[in-house]
Structure 1
């Protein structure tokens, strides 16, 4: 098992980065690694790890849904709530029905079996959609109208709907009948109870999410059981995973929806805590996504695709371009979305992966007629739509969505901070370097050390380089020199290097102004924050 984990982590990471450098989604490289390491090719991954794939996949999906909830914007959901609700039901419903009808023609399924396939194919992948939408939010694409938030919420709701219908159809096809349920003097069929089950699943999921959020705030903030972000994240992940496991034993509420709701309510109840958790779950997702997509690739059965490849592609195309697009049109009808934003739903709301991997093989395992074909189409949907969706979301967002102002209170904005430390040959230079180092360690920033020397004295420059290397030994930094007017050189370097903060020493004695002539000039002309060290 240990060797398998090493192969998964190291090859998954590096091949994913190779794919990224080739302008392909990282998950495509990870899925490829899974195929190569899995039982289809080299059989490197131990059977015990493959047997644990469902549990590991559950952990990874929990992490990404918690990330999604922590990134939701309540104001944008209030603005787009009606669209989000319709996105949760209409596209999935239309695609599932379209797939059912087309499969009756292509594979001679009956309608119930076709609809079972439609429920599998129609489910959207949180592992692809959630990172994609959060990435758009961190860059500002579509945030003005809350488009990423609407897609995130709709995706979670649609999976609740389709999984409920899937379980209902599975019972019917396995038993040959939908047994009725008697409540008092009335008897209802499972189909008649389905709307009530959906409402109960969503309602109780939201309630459990709210209670979970209240518990997290009480434990992590009010009772102060934790001391740092790592502990906050581990406790939150453990409690969220407990909610998912509890939902499996008590399937009266949606565990995944509860986790996403918990993240959303934490943001509402305690924004500082949600910021810490966003950072922690970003780190957890870094490793969780490797296991998710590598094991996804390892569980793909390529041999089942041989006879169903072309019909499967046709089915996916008709289901997406026909059924799902009708649902998108009705979901956004009457909204403030323009035609480009509506068109973005094609790349932004079509990816399949996690749900298909989780339930695609169940019909075959339970002896449902056509189970092998269902598994083949599920596998094909992963191989085609997951890499395509991960590539298409960032590719088409700049072309179809409007870029707005990024809200740093809802997402983690990844940006390399740069600090400029301007030093001379005075004793104050060591204090300037020490202050720059202190600031850099707070945010893992890079420091650029600038020395302006009109005489270009090699001895002084060498001494300052040694001093900078000593003080900034654990900081990414570089040493540069310039000539000419000192204040102008400092300001020009700050602009050219896109500096975020400038550290400079105060010069002069009792008879001068508040600061020295150089620092005074820099302070008056600078457009970025300036720290003056005495």
Structure 2
């Protein structure tokens, strides 16, 4: 249901996650109540797996050179926008809901956190298409998003402890110095980030040793399973050790690119496949966790609180984060759609204050649900919509992202026996690339019967491949080039008739004409009647 809901949303021009969230709401306990209670009880664990997948995708897509070129921008994006938004939301909640300062800050930490489930796929899509890659804008947003979640989750835990115990716990250091947990927060942030990066590096070294140097696995599926298991372990163990598991998983993917680029490329494709399933689980369960009944009277004041945080607090942080950078005003404006989405963190911790019996917990839960329903769909739609309008398009680095291409091949054939060899060659390439084939024959008026035989031969040789059989009249070289351009093919496969003479092979007139003009690679298949073995040549 989540898959089909997502596809319906996509066909209507909306992000698939909107359909998945709506399906979760309909199937969840608030409406249909048809999802097993065992699944709902395991929702937190399932969300953890899904977040691990998206963080590994983010790490495997980061570009070290682009991050270094941005200087401190990524670091500032990790602290200032989320911090200023949390403060603005806290002040708004104190004014509107009459919260005390700690409760207002608790709400600010929940709402200020950014959603990797929305931001990471969006930024990786921009990297695949080249939007903003010259200045490393997607990389800076990805890194800043991960760092901001570390900061706010730490502050959330501190405030939760304070509100539950009635005061901030003090810690006595060697030498008799006494510090409160709030005073130790900067040091704790530094330790969690530093240890997260170090542990991520160690895990990346371990994976390279196991999978490349010691060859513990036999195929890519096993590579992905081992990497995913280690990444999930990093995310889970942070509950008992003082480091950021989210950051460690992301750092592991990043260091894998530096340590073993071919392995990182294989893993990138595997985690792309895992995300197809994890995305559905994450957003359907997210929709099922939304408490519709608690929205009630808090919709309008809740939207006001969200707007103050998003349009007052965050812009201050965005401006301060990019001061001194080479970002233009339009690129700075892109941070509004690119860095606003809330979903994963809010679904994970939004209900905790209510469960702990904190006063105002039901309002906090309602605003958390409201932030998911408003910013996640808008953010997922706005990132691809506004990127072409606000960002410059640069050259895509295929070593950092999975470049998804739809391979189309053109097989130019006549009615001679050489057509069989051309069709066999194009079939082999199409099977390797999961490609589609355009079979083109430029006809003469007196070869109708031969064309039908050619059509039958094509059906037999390409029976397991998507193909289109086209017949057309005209100049053979010109029609081949025109159809190749029309269908935007990756390669032209055609026959070559030549004669062996003084160890040289002359190219036939048609293939020679195509070779001289075509900007598309041409693969020539030699006539089997020649004494030379059948071979292909890419020009």
Q: 1:210 aligned to 2:205?
A: no
Find the counterpart in structure 2 of residue 517 from structure 1: 509
Gaps of 5+ in 2: 527-539
Runs of 4+ more than 6 Å apart = none
Match among 328, 333, 341 for residue 331 of structure 2: 341
Structure 1's unaligned 5+ residue stretches are 1-10
Greater percentage in helix: 1
SS at match of 2:250: helix
Question: TM-score w.r.t. structure 1 length?
Answer: 0.96
Q: 1:506 aligns with which of 496, 514, 533?
A: 496
Structure 2 CA distance for aligned equivalents of residues 47 and 526 of structure 1: 61
Paired residues of 2:499 and 2:506 also in contact (CA < 8 A): no
Find the counterpart in structure 1 of residue 291 from structure 2: 301
User: 8 Å contact 2:2–2:20 — kept in the other structure?
Assistant: yes
TM-score, length-normalised on structure 2? Answer: 0.96
**Structure 2 Cα separation of the partners of residues 199 and 383 of structure 1:** 33
* CA contact 1:81–1:150 (8 Å) conserved in 2: no
Equivalenced residues, count? 523
Which position in structure 2 is the counterpart of 1:238? 229
Secondary structure of the 1:248 match is coil
Is the aligned partner of 1:529 residue 2:521? yes
Local SS of the residue matching 2:72 = helix
Aligned to 1:224: 215
Does 1:477 pair with 2:463? no
Report the alpha carbon displacement of residue 174 of structure 1 after superposing the two structures with TM: 0.1
Give yes or no for the alignment of 1:249 onto 2:240: yes
1:513 CA drift (Å): 4.8
1:457-468 to structure 2, matched below 5 A, reads: 457-468=447-458
CA change 1:391–1:217 in 2 (3 A) is: same
Mapped to 2, the partners of 1:398 and 1:212 lie a distance apart of: 37
SS at match of 2:70: helix
Q: Distance in 1 between matches of 2:469 and 2:218?
A: 37
Cα displacement string for residues 83-138 of structure 1 (whole angstroms, at most 9, x for unaligned residues): 00000000111011111111111111000000000000000000000000001111
Partner in structure 2 of residue 372 of structure 1: 362
Please tell me whether residue 156 in structure 1 is matched to residue 156 in structure 2. Answer: no
* Mapping of residues 338-487 of structure 1, within 5 Å: 338-455=328-445, 457-487=447-477
Which of the residues 166, 188, 197 maps onto 1:197? Answer: 188
| Cα deviation, residue 510, structure 1 | 3.3
Contact 1:102–1:315, Cα closer than 8 Å, also in 2: yes
Q: Which residue of structure 2 aligns with residue 15 of structure 1?
A: 5
2:123 is aligned to 133
Q: Is the 8 A contact 1:456 1:483 kept in 2?
A: no
Structure 2: distance between partners of 1:468 and 1:450? 11
- Correspondence for 1:4: none
Find the aligned partners of 1:25 and 1:497 in 2 and give their Cα distance. 27
Paired with 1:484 and 1:134, the residues of 2 have a C-alpha distance of 44
Q: 1:418 to 1:105 in 2, by over 3 A?
A: same
